[in-house]
Chain A
Amino acid sequence: MLSFFARRFFSLIITLWLVSVLIFAVLQIIPGDPAMVVLGLQANPETLAKVREQMGLNDPPLTRYMGWLTGAFTGNFGESLNYSVPVWDLIAQRLVVTGPLTLFAMTLTLLIALPLGIFAASKHRKIGDYGTMLFSQIGLAVPTFWAGILLMILFSVQLHWLPSGGFTYWDENPIESIRHLILPALSLSLVQAAVLTRMTRSAMLEVLNEDYITTARSKGLVDRIVVYKHGLKNAFISILTLLGLQLGQLLAGAIIIEFVFHLPGMGDLVLKSISQRDLPVVQGIVLFIAAVIVIVNFTVDLLYGYLDPRIRYE
């Protein structure tokens, strides 16, 4: 168990380091620098040189990378070039939007997908199965941002039930905060729910054909216990794998959906920071998101061990 844990932890660190190198290199290659962005069309070479110096852009890239890396190890992600505040403060401020949004979308995904998937599997090749598959086909075909715009037109512009975008912070009015998250979370979860429904269905179908299910049934167990206790728990390994991957997709989808609903989350900040070349912020957020994804997958790996004790020793 310990060596399993150590191996996984080591690969986690290596992955994060590779991500840091990659993101730094990419941001060095793309043209344009933050000093230009500040000055815009009125820039002249003299002022530009002054601003570059102020922003510390004249140091060689390797020096800047090492400075950033050592800072990041001690939890210091540096300071935003645009706002002159610590990057971590910006991330923390955005996390109260993106965190709940992702969890909300994840919950909705599970609430929609698990029952539907199990239902479809239990009605294999019947009308309920085909109906569910039709729904998931549509969910797969509709892009997240388009779903967001359609939901916005219906629920905000036409019916005025929910806000069209923006955010009210939790300390002001938590009910408003939730209202602002409903449409974005719903748009995000539609695609993911469609994928997860299919996965749940096929995993359940596979498991329900196993011998031990037949055994359980022949023992005379009620159908509910057969499906949920023996079926779902074993099907859950593949569902869990997908869930881990989906969290990454939700975080990536959040970038688009936060843009559509102008939610002040991390995705919105990373987009704006890229266009303004606020490199410390971009690096900080991308590293943070990468860390979340890697840690979630690490946790999923550990959970395999719980769900299926054989996996640890392989």
Chain B
Amino acid sequence: MRNRFKLSKTVLLLAVALMLVNLVSDSQAQGPVSGGVLRVVVSAEPQGLDPTTNTAAVVDRIFYNNTYEGLTKLDRNGSVVPGLAESWTFSDDGLNWTFNLRQGVTFHDGSAFTAADVVFTIERNQTTDESIAIVNPRFYEAIESVVAADDHTVNMTLSTFDSSFLFNLARGDSAILSANYAGDLNAAPNGTGPFSFVERVPASSLTLTKNENYYIEGLPYLDGVVFSFIPDPTAAFSAIQAGDVDVLARSNVENAPAAADDPNLTVFNGASTGEVILSMNNRSAPFNDKRVRQAVAYALNRQDIIDIAQFGFGVPVGSHMSPVNENYVDTTWRYQQDQDKARALLAEAGFADGLNVVMKIPSTFSYATSTAQVVQQMMADVGITAEIQLVDFPGQWLEEVFFDPWDYQMSIIAHVEEFDIGIYSNPNYYYGYSSAAFDEALARAQSEPDPEERKQLYAIAQFLIAEDVATFPMYELSNALILRSNVQNFWEDAPIPAADVSEVWINP
């Protein structure tokens, strides 16, 4: 009896001690830990590293908020927040803006960040110089003048009110560059962000290191980041399972179910900005007939496509806008699968005996090939026989589908650029869509200062695309991010195609 008491007392003491140890380690686990190098896998490598003259998404995934920063930036919720501009004011008509810049900020090459750098950057993005090929000059068209009032104040004047002005300044394209930098931006980036560029091993990896002079005290937590370029999803997944890498940024969903079963891995099924679009060439038969496009829309079932082709990862979308965008409205209700209606519309358009089409599918993307097969089957059920032609991306796809003379009938690809509904007002885009009503709604939305009014105008624009079946947006790609479980505070959603690791830490 006595012995037993003794024993239970010891057990009790041990239990208390264990609990204390647990408490201590728990509290350690909750706070950020400094140190460590994060190893991130991205599937595609940027060609040049200049964020203004190269494909935005691929460059942003490495440098956005890590190496480069804009006057404004997007946070993890997709909201526009202050970046290198601490605050700003604007006139009642929204045409005159004053930005107050952060002080005490230096570029990685040691030079001080001043208003002159902002003027240089904006003017460079508007340049007509033949030697600089800016990818998206349209984001800066509305800026009439940009002037340095003093070292830390910039005034900008717009020709028309542009509701996406602050958003555009937050894009990767608007990264603030140093006016005095002599190096080659394509080979050696120079920004103000929490990580500076160290080196790139061509077609293999790219290394960033902690910016010890970063202006936010205590950040970043990591000592550095290594991005590896591994296009093969199987190889990438083996690497993270073996513990050789920490994060698969923009992984393919086929690995997500296996990752969910692995106790060392965490899966984020977050939102992205990648609308998977079934495009139909509006310029030529048969898809210049709205009824044929509607028949396609009635033939398909978005949720089934997601379940079969994407293991249930993804969110149905009815128009060309990501659910993480504040202007998003649901338009999926406009066309619900109805095979009888699809057949009737086909018959009305003169294809009662069936219709043969060709889909040019980029073989590089597994979501595209798997989705194409499901779409092919669903269309076959209403009498549309589709032949799938695999083309390689980017070379062949761009030349055959994307560029004049747009030699294609149907295709599938994810449009990953954030807030890119404006492409539907470009009559030379590969969709070949042209609608005066849409153009007007979009133009009014862009010049509408009142957020509620604006949201309604964007809703109209989204609905018009859906109604006309300009394209058939199917679903928003899941972010399907796979990480080692000790990686903390990574962005769960991707409101911009970026891997912002400024506040990420690794638990030891």
Contacts and interface: CB of A to CB of B under 8 A. Distances in A.
A163 B244 contact: yes
B323 interface: no
Given A36-B394, A93-B202, A260-B232, A45 B48 contact: no
Contacts of A164: 235, 238-239, 241-242, 244
Contacts of B243: 160
A264 B45 CA distance: 13
A262 B54 contact: no
Given A38-B47, A38-B55, A43-B398, A166 B244 contact: yes
Given A38-B48, A272-B231, A84 B400 contact: no
Interface string B18-54: 0000000000000000000000000001011000011
A32 interface: yes
B22 to A, nearest CB: 28
A152 interface: yes
Interface in A4-57: 30-34, 36-45, 47-48, 50-51, 53-54
Contacts of B232: 259-260, 262
Contacts of A268: 203-204
Among A31, A38, A156, A269, residue most surrounded by chain B Cβ atoms (within 10 Å): A38
B239 A166 contact: yes
B186 interface: yes
Nearest to B132: A50
B191 to A, nearest CB: 20
B203 A42 contact: no
Contacts of A165: 230, 235, 238-239, 244
A53 B130 contact: yes
B37 to A, nearest CB: 14
A277 interface: yes
A272 B393 CA distance: 12
Interface stretch (B133-141, B370-378, B450-458, B473-481): B133-141
A122 interface: no
Contacts of B175: none
B224 to A, nearest CB: 16
A173 B82 CA distance: 44
B234 interface: yes
B395 interface: yes
Contact of B202 (A80, A160, A259, A261): A80
Interface string B100-133: 0000000000000000000000000000001101
Contact of A262 (B135, B187, B230): B230
A84 B46 CA distance: 13
Interface string A138-175: 00000000000100110011001001111100000000
B223 interface: no
A272 B203 contact: yes
11 contacts: A31-B396, A32-B397, A34-B47, A43-B403, A50-B130, A82-B202, A84-B186, A153-B238, A259-B231, A272-B45, A272-B229
Interface of A: 30-34, 36-45, 47-48, 50-51, 53-54, 80-85, 90, 93, 149, 152-153, 156-157, 160, 163-167, 259-262, 264, 268-269, 272-273, 275-277
A261 B244 CA distance: 12
Nearest to A32: B395
A149 B238 CA distance: 9
Nearest to B413: A41
B392 to A, nearest CB: 7
Contacts of A152: 238, 242
Nearest to A85: B202
B48 A157 contact: no
Contact of A275 (B53, B55, B56, B395): B395
Sort A-B residue pairs by CB-CB distance and give the 3 closest, nearest first. A32-B395, A40-B55, A164-B242
Given A32-B395, A259-B235, A272-B45, 9 more contacts: A37-B398, A39-B55, A40-B55, A41-B417, A82-B47, A260-B234, A261-B235, A272-B229, A275-B392
A36 B404 contact: no
B289 to A, nearest CB: 26
A40 B133 CA distance: 13
B242 A163 contact: yes
Given A36-B394, A262-B232, A41 B202 contact: no
Given A30-B395, A163-B244, A264 B203 contact: yes
B186 A90 contact: no
B171 to A, nearest CB: 11
Contacts of B55: 38-42
Contacts of A269: 202-203
Contacts of B229: 272
B399 interface: yes
Contacts of A43: 135, 398, 402-403
B364 interface: yes
Contacts of B135: 39, 42-43, 47
B265 to A, nearest CB: 12
Given A42-B417, A152-B238, A166-B244, A36 B48 contact: no
A141 B181 CA distance: 57
Interface in B313-343: none
Contacts of A272: 45, 203, 229, 231
A83 to B, nearest CB: 5
Given A31-B400, A160-B243, A264 B204 contact: yes
B241 A157 contact: yes
B239 A262 contact: yes
B242 A32 contact: no
Contacts of A44: 428
B63 to A, nearest CB: 16
A41 B236 CA distance: 25
Given A37-B47, A42-B55, A273-B203, A157 B396 contact: no
Nearest to A166: B244
B197 to A, nearest CB: 14
B399 A31 contact: yes
Contact of B404 (A30, A45, A53): A45
B48 A264 contact: no
A146 B242 CA distance: 18
Interface string B349-380: 00000000000000010000000000000000
Contact of A40 (B201, B241, B394): B394
Contacts of B395: 30-33, 36-37, 275, 277
Contacts of A167: 204
Contacts of B230: 165, 262
